[in-house]
Structures are given as structure tokens and as C-alpha cells.
Amino acid sequence: MSIVWLLVPLALLLGLGFVALFIWNAKSGQYDDLETPALRILSEPETKGSNQHE
Amino acid sequence: MASINPANTSQSLVLRGDKPSPAGELICDHCGKKYSGQINESLKNYCCNGCQALDQAQLPSATTQFEFWDERAPQNEVAIYVEGVHCAACVTVLEQIPEKLPEDVVSSILDFSHAILKIRLAPNAKLSRVAHYIVQLGYRPHLLSEASERFAYRSAENRKLLIELGIAGALSGNIMLMSIPLYSGASGSFEKMFEWICFALATPSLFYSGRSFLKNTWHAFKNKSFSIDAPIALALLVAYFYSLYSLIQNTHELYFDSLSGLIFLLLSSRYLLLRIRQSSTLNLSSFFIDPKPFLGRVGDSVALQNGQSLAFDGVVRKGFVFVDTSKFTGESEPVQLNVGDSIFAGTEIIESSPDHIVEVLQVHPHTRIMKLFQKAEEFMHKKSNTSIFSDKLAKWLLVFISCLGFVLLAGMYLRGEFTEGLNRFLALLIVTCPCALALATPLVFVMASRKMLEQGIMVKDPQGLDAAMNINKVCFDKTGTLTYGKLELTRTDANLSENQWGILLGLCLKSRHPVSRAVVRYIQTQYPSIEGALIQDFQEIAGKGLRGFHNEKEFRFEQNRFYYVHSNQSEFTLCRFEFADKIRQGVRPLISELQSQGLKTFVLTGDTLENAQKVLAGVPGLKILAKLSPEEKANHVLDALMVGDGINDSLSLSKAKVSIAVQGGMEAAVQSSQIFLTQGGVEKIPLILSFAKKVKRALTLNFMISTAYNLLGATLAITGILNPLIAAIMMPLSALSVFSFTYFYFNYQKSAPALEEKA
């Protein structure tokens, strides 16, 4: 059972990693506009480079 | 527009020849996008209804309108509210601007749900060119000042709440996981470890994610009031410190799991509500639309250009000036100002005597128009601060519940059952959380706003709907509200040859006078093939009319009469015209509809009684109050529903009990009104009233549901049947029941079908 002493902190660390990832996602604005990107993908780009995010 | 349309038509005709199949690839005549679908029986094809509406709508003339956009302080990023964004093709065409205008625009990104285009400008860019291009695409651009900062602020706020929510979720999930060993009987050092882990995870959950509850309560407490979050904060703190105490005392009475779960659930409902609200109402009042800058100083004497829109208040010192004050007073007839007359910012100069001089008396932001803006803002602010009944009730309920809780706790303590008492105390505070009650009111308004938006009614301030339930007086502005707001040719005895029409068109095309514009519109719609003839020695004589030579003959258009002058100075009349502002369609049925509901109807106008009666003839029961200044108008509407547009209405709109702005009005009206019609016309007003009744019913029912729920919960908690964990589950359930009731109420109930058909 002493493996629990290792596994529990590992599990928490893993969780922390995902939380960090989520914070980065949110801070870089990926959840700001959930509607436009879905429409943006519908149009064929005539030339590339116009629709890039900031 | 008129000159572009025939070309488009021929294009689609060619296309039809190429592809005889009824369903095939077509090109939208508005946005130029390829789409597949049925060929339209009419001459033009559109990929969607939105494009059709935009293509057929009248667009603002894009000549000088946007030049002042270039006079702004140089900025490399601007935000533009683009009126008319409606489908995926809009995203494409608007985001292709950098390719079309590479000298001006580096990048353009559209926020579809808010119809806001963020543009990064190239150095030395001309913003007016961008505006023209957007107009050509078929949208109306509105420049938002400071918008980039405000917009950034808003999204930063959203992000912050989202991060808080995400962290609360992660923590609560992990605490639940770590609690499983505790519930299933871990002992010894394992039990200690899991307990301390729960504590370590619950701490950031409360003090980071849940800090808004604590903060709100503390701020309210400092201001000697009671926040709606207070019992939540109290329950959270008591649960947290009691758990910490028992952790140290080794009594294993931990509430960390219910505590963090509660925070997560509360935050999610808050975030959801915020998102729904932001997506369904566009809050224009959070943006300020740029005033035109003026570089002069008080005391300067200046000469004015025709077509210029004035940016300062002044007084005429010499000569005379003809101005179009429709933006300011809402009335369409041009006004002559002589020496000593005041002239205000926001008026447009039509003509002026060559020797005129105007002295500057006030510059921005001290102009009369800005004062109207400011007053309107003040009243808006006052209105939004009046708390609604349910808020007050919820507060009293909170105070009562908290007192009850402490009495309960004290009683149980005296009986020696402190732990059980604490359980019941927590359960009571949690289960009676009035968030269902607090949620109900905004939720009803949000759902109603959404439904109304589908009908072209934009509710900016839901309290307008609230107040619309008890009014008995409806006031209308005349120009632009009950009428179309521009002069139209109503009668003519014209029997002209094509050549003569051409000469008249040539004359009128050179002038910006409302009468000339009405003639141009008339000729272009009645005789689209006629082109303006060449006019030489054109003269526009202020207060009289137009003169010009065509083929050595002098033609004049003066006093609504078109004639030519022989060499012996005798005049030969070709035709006469009559002009008037036209009453909107649907005004008559609207007025009788309102009167059948027992409402009194008034018209408030700055125009003369005679003019108003002429235009509104044949509408029975409409009482006309004429010759009113904006300030006088405002005094008439204190207890009324006001329908208006134009800047002169912004004060009365903001003072009115309920304010509705119809489209075509200035941004000011939009900012000061509570309800805004996206399609011009007044037919939707009975629909708004029926929505208001519906909202009232929904509010009452919701109130009853949440009260019953709270009473039941409180009884169960006090008698000890409910433990805190179940209370924590029940609490969001009550919010959910209110939510689902409201949703079904607005989506699956046939509401006043007769009214909807009429509208």
C-alpha cells in the first residue's frame, strides 16, 4: 500500500498539469469567441494568410 | 446602389444561361459567394435571406460621411461595429479586407456574435477608405471609440471568470476523488494524508475561485447593506473553518467536498448566465461613438462649407445660413438662420450666403448636444440602479434565513447537539440560497430578450420591459418615428419629356438640399433610364432654389416649380411639385390597437401644429402637442412609453418610463433607449407590450416556484432530514427547475397569436 504515497502526489501533479494547460488556453483567448471560428472554416480561402489569428 | 444593380442582374442572367439545371451553383448577388440552391424566379439570387435584405435595403450615401474618421488621433487598432452581419459569408468578406485594401489594413478579425470587426491599421492608413469599402459590401459601419480597450476589458473579465470556474471544477473533482477513501473507511496515516490533501485543495477553491462571494459580502457589509451572496459566504466560511477545526481536533467532521462542489456549481451557473446574456443582447451603451473633432477655439470666426456637419455651438454674426437640423431636432425642413441666431453642433450646413461668418461659442465637450448626451447617460444610470422587487425580497429573505440559522444553531448548542446543529445550520443556509430567486428575474429577461430579438426587437435594458407592464400613455415622436423622416415627392403635374427630366435631374444632382434629394430619388425610381443632363453655370441660391444653363437655355427650379426663362426674361412653367414627409405604413392600425387596449396616444413634435396635422391627417384619436423643445418633450413623458428617434429624443427617451427607439435614429437614441427596433417602423409596439405581459406572468410563476422550493427546503433542513451535502445538490436543482421552467415557458407556449400575425 505504500505505493499510494507516490501515486497520489503523481495524480495530483497530473491534474495540476491539465489545469495549467487550461489556464494557458483561457489566457491566450481561445475561449473568447466560440462562434466565429466555426463559421470561418466554412469559407474557402482564396489566398492564404488572411484569416490568421492575431 | 441604383447604378450597380443592373450589372448584377445581367450577371445572374448569364449564369442562368450557363447552367440550365434548376438547382446548381449560383453566385449570390449581394456578397458574391458561390452557393448551391434553387434559381430564384425573380431576377436576383441570394445565398440567404440576410443578403437579400441587405441588398435591397437603402444604404447610406458614402460620399463625405466618413471623412472625419481620418481626423482621429492615429491609432493602430480600431474596432468597428458592423451593422448587418448575419451569416458565414459575412465573416469571409469582412476578413478579406486586408487583401482588398492592403495599403490600409494589416489584419481584420470579426467577432461574429457581437458584429464587431477589429482592424489593425497600416501606417498612414485612411480609415475612411475602409469605411467606404465596408459600405460597398453592404454594411453600416459604426466606429467605436476606446472600444478596443473596453472590449479587451470585457474579454479579460470573461477569461478571469472562466479560469476561476475551471480551477474550481478541477479542485472539486479532485477533492471528491480524495474523499472516496475517507468515506470508504481509510484509517491511520492514510486517513490523515487524504484529509490534509482535501484541506490543501479546498483552500484555493474557497480563497481563489470563491473569493468573489467573500468579496461581495464584505463590500456590501462595509456599506452597511446585505449582499445576495452573504449566506453563501457565511456557509462557506463556517464550513471551511469548522472542517479545519475538526481536522486539527481529529474529529473527522469534514465538509471540504461539499464546500468545493458548491463553489463549482455556483460559478458555473453564473458563467452560463453571463455568456447567455452577452450573446443575446448587444450592449451598445458600453461603447461610445466618436464625436467629430473640431480643431478651432472658442471665439474664432469661421466660414462654413456646404455639406459640413457642425462640430461646435456658435452664433451667426454676418450673412445667413441654411441648415438641416434633422439630426438635432428631428424635423426635416431646412431652417434659415440669420444674424444673431444660434447654431448648434450636429446640424448640417445646406447652403450659406457667401459673406457669412459664424462665431464659435462652445466646443466639444461643452456643446448642447453633448450636454443632452450627458443628461441621457445620467438618467440611464439612475434607472439601472433602481432595484427590482425580487432583489429586495431576496435580501429580506436572506436576513431572515441567517437569523433563523443562528437561532437554530444556538438552540441546538444549548441542547448539547452542536454537531447536529451545525449540520442543520449549513443545510439551511445552502438550501435556502435565494439564487433561484435571484436567477429567475434576470433569466426571464434574458429569455424574453432572446425571443424578442428574433422578432427584430432588441432589449437593451430589461427594466424597460418591467416598466412597460404598467403604463397608460404612449408618446410618439413625429419625424422619423411615425413618418419616414425624409421629404418625399407627393404630388406633381409633371408631363415632361425625357430631355427635360434629364435637365431637372442634372440640376438636382448638384444640390444637397432635401427637396433636391427628394426629386433625385423620385426620378431615379420612376425613370431609372434617365441620366442627368450637363448643366453649366450652376447656381444654388440660398432660400430660393437652383439655376443652371443647358444648351444655352436657362432652367430654374425654385419654390417647388421647374421652369425655364426665355431670353426676354419671361418664364415658362414646366411643372410643379409638392413635397411632404410621408406617414409610415401601419401607423393607423397601431394607434387603434393601442387605444383598444385603453392607452392614451400622443404625438410630440418640434414642428408646427399645422405641419403635423397635415402629415398625420386621418389618424383618429392621436393628440398632437406641437412646437416642443427637447426639454419640454421630456417633461411630457415621465410616466409614459416614449417611441422616438433622433438626438432631440434622446433626453425624452432617457426620461421616459419606458423608451423605444425605432431604427433610422441616431446612435444617441440607441444609447438612451431601453428597447430598440432593428427594423424601421412602429408596428412591433403591441408585440412589445404583449411580451411585457408575458414576462410579468413568468416572473410571478418563477417567484412562486422558488418560494415553494425554499419553504420546503428550509423545513426539511430545520427538522434535520436534509444533510448539507444533499442540500448542496438540491440548491442548484432549484435553479435548474427555474431555468427549465423559464425555457419551456418562452419556447413552447403559443403567445398571443393574433398579435404576432398583426406584427
Smallest CA–CA separation between B134 and chain A, in Å? 17
d(CA B652, CA B470): 19
With beta carbons less than 8 A apart as the criterion, state whether B95 and A52 touch. no
Confidence at B156, pLDDT banded by 50, 70, 90? confident
Q: Is the pLDDT of residue A38 over 90?
A: no
d(CA B255, CA B236): 9
Of the candidates A19, A26, A50, the beta carbon closest to that of B99 is on A50
B720: left (phi over 0), alpha (psi -120 to 50) or beta: left
pLDDT value at position B278? 60
Smallest CA–CA separation between B174 and chain A, in Å? 8
Segment B425-431 shows an average pLDDT of 79
d(CA B490, CA B580): 6
Tell me the angle at which helices B435-454 and B724-747 cross, rounded to the nearest 10 degrees. Answer: 20
- Percentage of chain B with pLDDT > 90? 5
Q: CB-hemisphere CA count at 13 Å for B491?
A: 1
pLDDT value at position B536? 82
Range from B225-234, B378-387, B597-606 carrying the lowest mean pLDDT = B378-387
Chain A residues near residue B98 by CB distance under 8 angstroms: 50
Segment B297-326 shows an average pLDDT of 77
Q: What is the pTM of this model?
A: 0.55
Q: Which has more confidence, B558 or B16?
A: B558
Give bridge partners of residue B458 from the DSSP assignment. B676
Best of B87, B96, B171 to mutate (most A CBs within 10 Å, chain A):
B96
Q: Is the pLDDT of residue B3 over 60?
A: no
The reply to whether residue A40 touches residue B166, judged by beta carbons under 8 angstroms, is: no
Q: Is the pLDDT of residue B615 over 70?
A: yes
Of the candidates B96, B163, B190, the beta carbon closest to that of A50 is on B96
Tell me the angle at which helices B685-718 and B435-454 cross, rounded to the nearest 10 degrees. Answer: 160
Smallest CA–CA separation between A53 and chain B, in Å? 8
Query: What nine digits make up the cell of B218?
Result: 464584505
pLDDT digits (tens, 9 = 90+) for B522-553: 888 888 888 888 888 888 776 678 888 888 88
Q: Does B109 touch chain A (CB under 8 A)?
A: yes
- Percentage of chain B with pLDDT > 70? 72
Query: What is chain B's mean pLDDT, rounded?
Result: 74
Q: Is the pLDDT of residue B757 over 50?
A: no
Range from B43-52, B232-241, B351-360 carrying the lowest mean pLDDT = B43-52
Q: Is the pLDDT of residue B230 over 70?
A: yes
- Check residue B13 and report its DSSP letter: H
Sequence-separated (6 or more) residues with CB below 8 Å from residue B321? B304, B336, B337, B343, B349, B351, B352, B353, B356, B358
pLDDT value at position B326? 61
Provide the number of CB pairs (under 8 Å) joining chain A to chain B: 74
pLDDT value at position A19? 95
The reply to whether residue B89 touches residue A43, judged by beta carbons under 8 angstroms, is: yes
Segment B512-523 shows an average pLDDT of 80
The reply to whether residue A4 touches residue B96, judged by beta carbons under 8 angstroms, is: no
Range from B105-109, B264-268, B438-442, B451-455 carrying the lowest mean pLDDT = B438-442
Give bridge partners of residue B579 from the DSSP assignment. B489
Query: B286-290, B326-330, B433-437, B476-480: which has the highest mean pLDDT?
Result: B476-480
Sequence-separated (6 or more) residues with CB below 8 Å from residue B191? B181, B182, B252
Query: What nine digits make up the cell of A31?
Result: 475561449
Smallest CA–CA separation between A19 and chain B, in Å? 7
The reply to whether residue B112 touches residue A36, judged by beta carbons under 8 angstroms, is: yes
Compute how many other C-beta atoms are within 10 angstroms of the C-beta atom of residue B589.
12
Q: Which has more confidence, B246 or B310?
A: B246
pLDDT value at position B543? 66
Peptide bond preceding B514 in cis form (omega within 30 of 0): no
Pairing state of beta strands B288-289 and B301-302? unpaired
- Grouping H, G, I as helix, E, B as strand and the rest as coil, residue B724 is helix
Q: Which has more confidence, B73 or B508?
A: B508
Smallest CA–CA separation between A6 and chain B, in Å? 12
Q: What amino acid is encoded at B458 in this protein?
A: M
Chain A residues near residue B87 by CB distance under 8 angstroms: 39
The reply to whether residue A27 touches residue B159, judged by beta carbons under 8 angstroms, is: yes
The reply to whether residue A8 touches residue B193, judged by beta carbons under 8 angstroms, is: yes
pLDDT value at position B53? 55
Chain B residues near residue A47 by CB distance under 8 angstroms: 99
Chain B residues near residue A31 by CB distance under 8 angstroms: 158-159, 162
Window 17-46 of B: residues touching A by CB (8 A cutoff) are: 33
